[in-house]
Amino acid sequence: MKTYSTQNIRNVVLIGSTRSGKTTLSEAMLFEGKVIDRKGTVEGKNTVSDNSEIEQINQRSIFSTPLYTEFMDTKFNIIDTPGADDFVGGAISAFKVCETGILLVNAQQGVEVGTQIFQRYAEKYKLPLICGVNQLDGEKANWEGTLDSMKEAFGKKPVIIQFPVNPGTGFDGFVDVLKMKYYHFVDDLGKREDLEIPANLQGQAEELRQELIERAAEYDDTLMEKFFDSGELSEDEIRKGLGIGIRSGEVLPIFCLSGKKNIGVKRLMEFTIKVAPAPSETKAEASDGSLVECSVNGPTSLFIYRTAVEQHLGEVAYFRVMSGKLTVGQDLENPENGEKERITAFYAVAGKKKEPITEMQAGDIGCTVKLRAAKTDDTLAAPGFDKSYKHIVFPASKYRCAIKAAEQKDDEKMNEALMRISAEDPTIIVEYHKEMKQTILKAQGEQHVNIVKWRLKNENKIEMETFAPRISYRETITKVAAADYRHKKQSGGAGQFGEVHLLICPYEEGVDAPRNFKIGGKDMVLNVKTSESFDLDWGGKLEFYNCVVGGAIDARFMPAILKGIMDKMNEGPLTGSLARDIRVYVYDGKMHPVDSNEISFVLAARNAFKEAFRNAGPKIMEPIYNLEVITPADYMGACMSDLQNRRALIEGMGSDRGFSTLKARVPLAELYKYSTTLSSLTSGAATFTMEFAEYQPVPADVQEKLLKAYQESESEE
Instruction: Dump pLDDT digits (tens) for 74-93.
Output: 999 999 999 999 999 999 99
Q: Which pLDDT score, from 0 to 100, does residue 189 have?
A: 87
- When pLDDT is cut at 50, 70 and 90, the band that residue 716 belongs to is low
Q: How far, in Å, are 71, 422, 566, 609, 610 from residue 571 at the CA level?
A: 65, 32, 9, 12, 10
Asked whether 218 and 198 are in contact (CB, 8 A), the reply is no
Is the pLDDT at 365 greater than 80, yes or no? yes
Fold for the domain defined by 300-381: Elongation Factor Tu (Ef-tu); domain 3 (2.40.30)
Q: How far, in Å, are 92, 182, 370, 627 from residue 341 at the CA level?
A: 26, 53, 9, 44
Q: Give which of 603, 585, 607 is closest to 481, Cα–Cα.
A: 585
Mean pLDDT of the chain: 94
Cα gap 105→98, rounded to integer Å: 20
Provide CB contacts within 8 A for 23, sequence distance 6+.
42, 47, 49, 50, 60, 61, 80
Is the pLDDT at 492 greater than 70, yes or no? no
Exposed (0-12), middle (13-18) or buried (19+): which is 433, by Cβ within 10 Å? middle
- When pLDDT is cut at 50, 70 and 90, the band that residue 436 belongs to is confident
Q: Give which of 130, 105, 229 is closest to 658, Cα–Cα.
A: 105
Question: If one looks up domain 620-702 in CATH, what number appears?
Answer: 3.30.70.240
Cα gap 136→171, rounded to integer Å: 7
Cα gap 430→452, rounded to integer Å: 11
Q: Maximum distance among all alpha carbons in the chain?
A: 113
Q: How far, in Å, are 445, 612, 617, 698 from residue 479 at the CA level?
A: 41, 10, 6, 17
Instruction: Dump pLDDT digits (tens) for 293-319.
Output: 999 999 999 999 999 988 778 899 999
3-state SS class at 498:
strand
Cα gap 458→464, rounded to integer Å: 11
Q: How far, in Å, are 59, 92, 315 from residue 421 at the CA level?
A: 21, 17, 11
Asked whether 517 and 526 are in contact (CB, 8 A), the reply is yes
- When pLDDT is cut at 50, 70 and 90, the band that residue 486 belongs to is very high
The CATH superfamily holding the domain 6-282 is: P-loop containing nucleotide triphosphate hydrolases (3.40.50.300)
Give percent above pLDDT 90 in the chain: 88
Instruction: Dump pLDDT digits (tens) for 162-171.
Output: 999 999 999 9
Is the pLDDT at 715 greater than 90, yes or no? no
**Through-space distance between the first and last CA atoms of the chain, rounded to whole angstroms:** 68
Neighbours of 711 (CB within 10 A): 12
Asked whether 404 and 393 are in contact (CB, 8 A), the reply is no
Asked whether 252 and 154 are in contact (CB, 8 A), the reply is yes
Give percent above pLDDT 70 in the chain: 99
Instruction: Dump pLDDT digits (tens) for 63-72.
Output: 999 999 999 9
Q: What is the DSSP string of 376-394?
A: TT-EEE-TT----BPPP-P
- Indicate the DSSP class of residue 24: H
Q: How far, in Å, are 67, 80, 633 from residue 685 at the CA level?
A: 29, 22, 10
Instruction: Dump pLDDT digits (tens) for 176-222.
Output: 999 999 999 999 888 999 999 999 999 999 999 999 999 999 999 99
HEC sequence for 149-204: HHHHHHCCCEEECEEEECCCCCCCEEEECCCCEEEEECCCCCCEEEECCCHHHHHH
Is the pLDDT at 717 greater than 60, yes or no? no
Instruction: Dump pLDDT digits (tens) for 23-62.
Output: 999 999 999 999 999 999 999 999 999 999 999 999 999 9
- Side-chain-facing half-sphere of 360: CA atoms under 13 Å: 32
Neighbours of 523 (CB within 10 A): 8
Neighbours of 467 (CB within 10 A): 11
Helices 558-569 and 598-614 pack at an angle, to 10 degrees, of 40
Is the pLDDT at 560 greater than 90, yes or no? yes
Instruction: Dump pLDDT digits (tens) for 502-538.
Output: 999 999 999 999 999 988 788 989 999 999 999 999 9
How are beta strands 541-546 and 429-433 bridged, if at all? unpaired
How are beta strands 496-506 and 582-590 bridged, if at all? antiparallel
Least confidently predicted of 112-116, 145-149, 334-338, 621-625? 112-116
Instruction: Dump pLDDT digits (tens) for 219-250.
Output: 999 999 999 988 899 999 999 999 999 999 99
Q: What is the DSSP string of 567-609?
A: HHHSS-TTTSPEE-SEEEEEEEEE--TTT--HHHHHHHHHHHH
Q: Which pLDDT score, from 0 to 100, does residue 188 have?
A: 85
Listed by start position, the domains of the chain span 6-282, 300-381, 399-467, 475-617, 620-702
Q: Is 581 left (phi over 0), alpha (psi -120 to 50) or beta?
A: left
> Do the first three CATH levels of 399-467 and 620-702 match, i.e. the same topology?
yes
Q: Which pLDDT score, from 0 to 100, does residue 75 have?
A: 97
Q: How far, in Å, are 529, 584, 588, 595 from residue 546 at the CA level?
A: 6, 9, 9, 22
Sign of CA dihedral 108, 111, 113, 117: positive
Instruction: Dump pLDDT digits (tens) for 370-429.
Output: 899 999 999 999 999 999 999 999 999 999 999 999 999 999 999 999 999 999 999 999
Cα gap 343→332, rounded to integer Å: 8
Question: If one looks up domain 399-467 in CATH, what number appears?
Answer: 3.30.70.870
Question: If one looks up domain 475-617 in CATH, what number appears?
Answer: 3.30.230.10
Q: Which pLDDT score, from 0 to 100, does residue 490 have?
A: 77
Q: Which pLDDT score, from 0 to 100, does residue 609 have?
A: 97
Averaged pLDDT, 314-341: 96
